A and B are shown apart, each in its own frame.
Chain A
Amino acid sequence: MSDLLAVGSAGVLAYQAALAVTGDNVANADTPGYARRSVRLETALSGNSGILQIVPIAGSGVRASAMERSGDPLKIASARVAEGDHSRLAARADWLQRIETSLTGAGLESALSGVFDAATDLAAAPTSQAARTLFLDRADSAATTYRRLGDSLSALAADIDSAVATTSTEVNAITAGLARVNEELRRTQAGVAPSLGLLDSRDSLLADLAARVRITVTEGTKGAAIVRLGNGPTGPLLVPEFGNAVAVEGRNGPAGPELLLDPTHRAEVVRLPLSGSMAGLIEAGRELAGLRTAIDASALRFADAVNSWHQSGTDLRGDPGEALFNTAGVAISSGLANAGSASLDAVLADGATPAPDGYRLIADAGGFTLARIDGTASVSGAGPLMLDGLEVRPGAGARTGDSWTLLPATGASTLQLRPLGPDRVAAAARFLADANPLNQGDARITAALDPSATAFAAPPPLTLLVTAPGTLDVIDPASGTVLASLAYVPGLPVAGDGFNFTISGAAAVGDSFRVLPSGAGSNDNSTMLALASVRALANPEGTLEASFTARISSLGARLAETDRLQASARAVRDDAARAADAVSGVDLDREAAELTRLQMAYRANAQVIAAARDMFDTMLGVSR
């Protein structure tokens, strides 16, 4: 009878525990990372279970032996991987989207075609001040657009770098947390509530980590997590079973952002498998680095092509055309140990060439010292400093010992229209040539700039008189003296001093031609017309404008592909998460059914106690 009472009370206790766990499940139905728990019931052994008592004797009731977490480790691992894959694509899509917005929002294409279209207008009215001003304005807007695009891309690159840094800080925090959880798990008894809570937080930390980098997890004693970076059991160890986690650090490498393992001890660059938001960030960063290189190259190509084109012409003053764009500039980087908050503004004067090694600015007691890095020159002072045409204006807030490095840079960010007036636009060709209208033959003449030509020393103006078929005299028109007698072949250029001329078609003996420098105020537009051929100039990537469009399109294609991959990765992630959750998550309906069942069992056990009491009462009644 006392047995029956013991059986009943054991049952009541066991089901009480089970009911408490069910209540816990219901309460945590919406807690992220909570795995459904259940109580394993087993038959309580009677007797003292000594070494001689081999066969357990049933009949001592039930006991709650241990609490269990439901969960399928394989499903949880595949959900982690799917989450990482999706995070990678989501991060990549997010940043590519921003890059695309910067690229299309800059309006570089319309700025470039604006320059060429303004040249068409100017060619129709070569001496018009309005058309010249408009042309310079468009050229300025193209340079500004390049600068703005270069600046916005470099701001994006800085953003990506700081996102990489933040993500690696998060990774370090998570791995440190995992190392602590491992330690706690070792100290805690398995199968009790605190240990299950630790396992829950272990799993959610692992899920957080896998969303950032691809990891491989193996389980040590008492559920300690051993985490390796990358795919498979050979990757570098991030969280060991015993001891501290290994830190990671993001940094800006030569080809864009990269990840360093164990930066303080034996720093090594790790190649990340393509999973996790860190991988997505690094991919976007590399894409951006390549794009910036291409934009810088495009800016230089534009500036070089336009400059050399413009230098072949003559401006309205009759002077040779000058370069339109300045490409030299300096890039400022602050010293890593700067304590102050001073900002720096550096302007390179028009036409100045910075020293190839660059400059260093150091804040000292007396103000600032700007010195060439090769040590050949320096200036000191409190205010704006000037060296080699480089003017540096330090802002307020510098501390003694702060330093900045200024390196020569060229690219989109440094492209600038030089300060030129409208009459300095070189629309005319350097040389003009015409045929005497009284010529009997129908030969035509063209003259072109040819800096390498040094055949005879006299510069234009010159008169050419055909003295015999295939022979002409070069005559100084002012004095009438014959300077040279030359043979020529119709259609082939004849070299002069810095120029050449071509007589094509049949010339009669006695025909004369003139070669003249285009003087001030020339209405000629040959140079402006030649800009069309600069526009059509194609390198292997196509013309300037086409190669930029191709860049944008290929980025767009990459983004579209990323979006598609992200959509399918999301579906995979949702499926995997659902499959894992189906095992480990809480279903309220199921808990309701469980509750009803356990309540009934509890009540039945209480009835057993009541029955035992009745039996006691009966026995006591008999003896009375």
Chain B
Amino acid sequence: MSLPPATASISAINTRARHQGQVAQLSGLSSQISNVRAQISTGRRVNAPSDDPVAFSRAATLRRAQASEDATNGAIDAASRRLRTADIALGSALTLVQRARELGLQGSNATMAPADRAVLAGELAELLTSLTGLAETRDADGAPVFGGALGSGPAYAPDATGQLVWQGAGRAPRIAAGGALVETGITGPEAFGQNAPPSPERPLGSADLFASMAGLVAALTEPDPDLRTAALAQRLGEIEGHGDRLADAQATIGARGARLDAEQERLATQKLATSSDLSRLEDLDMASGIARLQRLLSVLEAAQASFARTASQSLWDQLR
């Protein structure tokens, strides 16, 4: 390697280097244009983590939140359906219980003939069958609505003495809504009461709706007027209590449904906010994107024209 000739000046530039430099500038412009064009055609500014790592990770978190909000929304739909089913069943049961009470009061009239009381008793037995049917109401997946955590099989079944006993256990499935767990139903004993023998704490014991109805039927057919009056009074009192409990249960279900509705409303608002956040993070500002493309295109055009002009200049043309 010899020393540079003294004539070489720093500003000298050779043909190939000049040519390559200009071509590199042109291809740099072209690649910028293709980037902007890709952004415009996808409408997104962030297509890969390297485009904007911070925005990408924020957007990933938001998308995750969006997906889980969608899932919660679907779950709330299913839970609301179950709550509505329970609500309808409870409403029907309440109507039946009111009818039973009217019939019982009619039967309390001491002047009523035994044959008429038998008719009343027959109708009450029918009501009891309908109530038993309502207690077996199933949701869309076939699980008994009043079975608590019971997933299949009857919610009530007769025991050895013929008395209906609740078969369920635990509580209805819960659903996470707005940071809290909401039960999506009500258990049989909560809606229809529970049988219990007399104990020191409860001298009278306790009867569920079905036992009270059966007792009412039995009381109406009791031939002895004194016993009948006492039994009717006791049973009618119980039936009134059952009516109150059913109304309470319906109110509880309504309140749970309202909580789920409120959560769904919140999710809808949240979804709007999340999508607008996502769009702010990821989406391209179209106006500025298109303006940038225009600017790059005109620069490229000018660069191409000047390249064509300067490259065509040569001293060799002047040599004759």
Interface residues of A, Cβ cutoff 8 Å to B: 29-30, 36, 38, 68-73, 76, 96-97, 100-101, 103-104, 109-110, 113-114, 116-118, 120-121, 123-128, 199, 219, 223, 316, 428, 432-434, 436-438, 440, 508-510, 514, 516, 518, 521-526, 529, 532, 545-546, 549-550, 552-557, 559-560, 563, 574, 577-579, 581-583, 585-590, 592-593, 595-596
Contacts and interface: CB of A to CB of B under 8 A. Distances in A.
Contacts of A428: 149
28 contacts: A101-B48, A104-B49, A113-B64, A113-B67, A113-B68, A116-B68, A116-B71, A127-B151, A128-B141, A432-B149, A434-B171, A436-B189, A436-B196, A437-B193, A437-B194, A514-B169, A521-B153, A529-B174, A545-B64, A553-B53, A557-B53, A581-B14, A581-B16, A582-B12, A583-B12, A586-B15, A586-B16, A587-B12
B24 interface: yes
Nearest to A32: B16
Interface string B45-88: 00011111110110011011001101110111111000000000
B22 to A, nearest CB: 11
Nearest to A70: B5
B289 interface: no
Contact of A585 (B17, B78, B181): B17
A582 B14 contact: yes
Contacts of B60: 109, 549, 552-553
A559 B49 contact: yes
Nearest to B153: A521
A295 B190 CA distance: 50
B193 A121 contact: no
B187 interface: yes
B257 interface: no
B1 A553 contact: no
Contacts of B143: 126-127, 523
A30 B78 CA distance: 75
Contacts of A124: 74-79, 173, 175, 184
B15 A588 contact: yes
A436 B194 contact: yes
A516 B170 contact: yes
Contacts of B308: none
A575 B172 CA distance: 75
Contacts, number: 229
B70 A117 contact: yes
Interface size class of B (residues with CB under 8 A): 35 or more
A578 B170 contact: no
Contacts of B71: 116-118, 120-121
Given A109-B60, A588-B315, A589-B315, A123 B75 contact: yes
B111 interface: no
Contact of B57 (A76, A440, A549): A549
B206 A438 contact: yes
Contacts of A110: 63, 67
B160 interface: no
Interface centre among B11, B77, B150 (most CB of A within 10 A): B150
A47 B148 CA distance: 126
Given A127-B141, A529-B181, A581 B194 contact: no
Contacts of A521: 150-153
Contact of A522 (B11, B16, B151): B151
Contacts of A593: 315
B110 to A, nearest CB: 34
B309 interface: no
Given A518-B149, A560-B50, 4 more contacts: A126-B151, A127-B152, A432-B169, A553-B57
A255 to B, nearest CB: 24
B319 interface: yes
Given A124-B78, A523-B149, A585 B16 contact: yes
